[in-house]
Amino acid sequence: MNSDAPTVRCDRYLEDYRPGESHDCGSVTVTEEEIVEFATRFDPQFFHVDPEAAADGPFGGLIASGWHTTALMMRLYADHYLSPVASLGGPGVDELRWTAPVRPGDTLRLRVTVLEARPSRSKPDRGILRSRVEMTNQRQETVLRLTVLNMLRVRPADSG
């Protein structure tokens, strides 16, 4: 599935996530107020919370915390990629990288590619979904890259 329209979250099960498929999970625009609010609570480094001090800092201006960027990614991921009938949480992420700063006014777009959808050997009602996640800004620069692992239910035998 390669399109410009966001993927519609539906009642997908593990076997409906096919390796190689890419899903557009929509976009979000980041505001200065949100950057400062998030960082004030969770990552109070000066280049995240103080626009004046940030202007003379290592990034030449205010930037979002990487954890804020990751939280924005998770919202789009949950809204447009994970199925509400099949998701059982996740054991973690691999290779999390913040590859470019996110600035006020940036519009971030999420694309997720299925790497693997493997049934569990020990629990036949579920399996592991491994997905490559990339978030880009309006200049097509990658700002976040990671591999996400999720546990998903397989389609119940009685669901037709």
φ, ψ of residue 82 to 5 degrees: the values are -80, 140
Give tens-digit pLDDT for 118-158: 999 999 999 999 999 999 999 999 999 999 999 999 999 87
Give tens-digit pLDDT for 23-61: 999 999 999 999 999 999 999 999 999 999 999 999 999
**Which residues touch 125 (CB under 8 Å, ≥6 apart)?**
153, 154
What are the sequence ranges of the domains in the chain?
Answer: 14-159
Query: CA 143 to CA 75: how far, in whole Å?
Result: 16
pTM for this entry: 0.91
CATH architecture of 14-159: Roll (3.10)
